[in-house]
């Protein structure tokens, strides 16, 4: 009798537990990103920190090291998509136009979206603001300014506390800092515009596309001015020598082999993450300075951040089974409502805080980090000055490819800068017309 009662009680407990099980289960979401090597662990740590902050959501970070776009397109074709993706390639607005992503503003709802816009810097959403909706949010921004080697400045008789702030000053400094070896090759270059016309054209005050996303760079005198300036370096330093030098350093860009660290470039336009590289790979004898903003010509865009949609914006694919949970993870990554955690993310990856009120900069973790790396203050100023969304176009993949080729043609003196821009624009315009037909 007792035995029967016991088994009855156990059965009832089991049924109750099984029935209650779904309420204990967390909503699981998948996050695709492309951060490989040491960064995979950092992304896993971010996911872990998010999971610890949640009672009902659990995210799994999945690294997709290669062919990210192909896999995303394939998963869209079969209707089995991740819940969140880091968009690290071009073509995002095209995919958004084709209905691949949820509109973030709609997912948030009108009131929260307004609050979010008041909280975040515009750079977080403006580049993905397309046809009335925002399709992705950018959780980290690459800010650029001029790094310069103070030792080289002193040797060349330049004031190590006065970096060039205009293009004319930059060119003059570059000439003084350039050195040649016994074979007549460039041994150290003062500066050369490796960032290309996409970057420098914007700094010069030009625009790549108009409001519709159609190419406008060929009609923009500022873009032409930037392209001519880029080509001027090939004339001034002998294109053969410059190309040889460039090929020499292009194989050694990362870590300790960064040409600025290895003393091959005296001044270079770079992002905030280089601060960590410099700390890791240089000794006390390496002294560098940061310009308060990129050197700018008269009429150019003085100081600020340039952002592209391709720079890791977070989107929620339409195939996501849990878009609300996915949105919560995006908010976490950006730091909206998770300021203390975002301060840690800054420390882990040099991904600067993006809140308009700069509260995250005052979090104890951030203050401690800034004491270690006070150089970030320069980038904080740059980040909070202004920002420009570039290549806001549904044909940005093709545009990026063609503007890169145009840059090559001009810098290698294969085409006149105006002709290089016109040819590229003609190709891109055809593509723009095709998709808008």
Partner 1 sequence: MASAAVKKRRIQGLLFISPWLIGFLAFTLYPFISSIYYSMTAYDVISPPEFIGLENYVNMAEDPLVRKALYNTFYYAVFAIPLSTIWGICVALLLNLKVRGMTLYRTLFYIPSIVPVVASSMVWLWLLNPQYGIINGLIYLFFNHPGPGWFADPKLSKMSLVFMSLWGIGQTALIYLASLQDVPESLYESADLDGATTLQKVIHITVPMISPVILFNVIMGLIGTFQYFTQAYIMTGGGPADSTLFYALYLYNNAFNFFKMGYASAMAWLMFLVIFVMTALTFKASSRFVYYGGETR
Q: Which residues bind partner 1 (CB under 8 A)?
A: 67, 69-70, 73-74, 76-77, 89-91, 94-95, 98-100, 183-185, 240-241, 243-248, 251, 397-398, 401, 404-405, 408-409, 412, 414-415, 423, 427, 431, 434
Complex with partner 1: residue 94 or 153, whichever CB lies closer: 94
CB of 276 to partner 1, least distance (A): 26
CB of 82 to partner 1, least distance (A): 15
Taking the C-alpha atoms of residue 111 and residue 99, their distance in angstroms, rounded to an integer, is: 24
Is 208 within 8 Å of 215 (Cβ atoms)?
yes
Complex with partner 1: residue 171 or 252, whichever CB lies closer: 252
Complex with partner 1: residue 91 or 304, whichever CB lies closer: 91
Q: Position of tokens 């002294």?
A: 287
Complex with partner 1: residue 294 or 397, whichever CB lies closer: 397
Complex with partner 1: residue 382 or 410, whichever CB lies closer: 410
CB of 329 to partner 1, least distance (A): 23
CB of 364 to partner 1, least distance (A): 44
CB of 50 to partner 1, least distance (A): 29
Beta bridge partners of 313: 87
Q: Which of 290, 338, 254 has the alpha carbon at shortest distance from 46?
A: 338
CB of 262 to partner 1, least distance (A): 12
Complex with partner 1: residue 337 or 404, whichever CB lies closer: 404
- Cα 36-39-44 angle, rounded to 5 deg: 100
Complex with partner 1: residue 289 or 404, whichever CB lies closer: 404
Complex with partner 1: residue 48 or 250, whichever CB lies closer: 250
Helix (H, G, I), strand (E, B) or coil at 165: coil
Taking the C-alpha atoms of residue 421 and residue 175, their distance in angstroms, rounded to an integer, is: 27
Helix residue ranges per DSSP H, 81-166: 92-97, 104-108, 110-119, 150-155
Residues 6+ apart with CB under 8 A from 83: 29, 30, 31, 59, 316, 317, 320, 321, 322, 323, 325, 326, 329
Helix, strand, coil percentages for the chain (3-state, nearest 5): 50, 15, 35
CB of 206 to partner 1, least distance (A): 21
Complex with partner 1: residue 50 or 398, whichever CB lies closer: 398
CB of 411 to partner 1, least distance (A): 9
Q: Position of tokens 């914007």?
A: 202
Is 185 within 8 Å of 244 (Cβ atoms)?
yes
Taking the C-alpha atoms of residue 368 and residue 362, their distance in angstroms, rounded to an integer, is: 10
Complex with partner 1: residue 56 or 414, whichever CB lies closer: 414
Helix (H, G, I), strand (E, B) or coil at 208: coil
CB of 414 to partner 1, least distance (A): 5
Residue 96 CA: distances (Å) to CA of 37, 100, 157, 269: 29, 5, 53, 32
Strands, E, within 254-408: which ranges? 267-271, 288-290, 305-307, 313-315, 387-389
CB of 417 to partner 1, least distance (A): 13
Is 181 within 8 Å of 371 (Cβ atoms)?
no
């Amino acid at each position: 009798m007792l035995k029967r009662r016991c088994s009855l009680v156990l059965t009832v407990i089991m049924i109750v537990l099984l029935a209650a099980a779904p309420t204990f289960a967390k909503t699981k979401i998948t996050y695709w990103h492309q951060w490989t090597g040491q960064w995979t662990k950092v992304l896993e740590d971010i996911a872990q920190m998010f999971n610890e902050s949640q009672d009902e959501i659990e995210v799994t970070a999945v690294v997709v090291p290669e062919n990210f776009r192909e896999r995303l397109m394939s998963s869209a074709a079969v209707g089995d998509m991740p819940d969140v993706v880091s968009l690290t390639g071009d073509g995002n607005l095209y995919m958004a136009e084709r209905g691949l992503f949820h509109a973030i503003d709609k997912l948030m709802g009108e009131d929260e979206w307004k609050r979010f816009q008041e909280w975040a810097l515009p750079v977080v959403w403006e580049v993905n603001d397309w046809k009335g909706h925002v399709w992705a949010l950018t959780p980290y921004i690459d800010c650029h300014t001029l790094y310069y080697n103070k030792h080289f400045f002193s040797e060349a008789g330049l004031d190590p506390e006065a970096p060039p702030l205009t293009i004319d000053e930059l060119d003059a400094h570059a000439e003084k800092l350039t050195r040649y070896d016994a074979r007549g090759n460039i041994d150290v270059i003062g500066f050369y515009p490796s960032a290309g016309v996409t970057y420098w054209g914007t700094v010069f005050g030009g625009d790549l596309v108009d409001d519709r996303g159609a190419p406008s760079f060929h009609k923009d005198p500022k873009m032409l001015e930037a392209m001519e300036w880029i080509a001027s370096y090939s004339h001034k330093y002998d294109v053969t020598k410059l190309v040889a030098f460039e090929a020499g350093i292009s194989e050694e860009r990362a870590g300790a082999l960064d040409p600025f660290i290895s003393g091959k470039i005296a001044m270079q336009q770079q992002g905030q993450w280089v601060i960590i590289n410099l700390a890791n790979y240089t000794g006390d004898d390496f002294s560098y300075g940061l310009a308060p903003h990129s050197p700018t010509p008269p009429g150019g865009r003085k100081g600020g951040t340039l952002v592209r949609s391709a720079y890791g914006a977070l989107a929620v694919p339409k195939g996501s089974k849990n878009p609300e949970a996915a949105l919560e993870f995006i908010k976490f990554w950006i730091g909206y409502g998770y300021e203390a955690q975002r301060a840690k993310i800054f420390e882990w990856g040099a991904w600067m805080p993006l809140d308009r009120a700069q509260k995250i900069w005052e979090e104890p973790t951030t203050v401690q980090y800034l004491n270690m790396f006070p150089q970030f203050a320069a980038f904080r100023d740059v980040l909070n000055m202004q920002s420009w969304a570039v290549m806001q176009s549904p044909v940005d993949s093709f545009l990026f490819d063609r503007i890169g080729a145009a840059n090559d043609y001009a810098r290698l003196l294969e085409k006149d800068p105006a002709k290089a821009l016109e040819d590229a624009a003609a190709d891109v315009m055809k593509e723009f017309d095709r998709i808008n037909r």
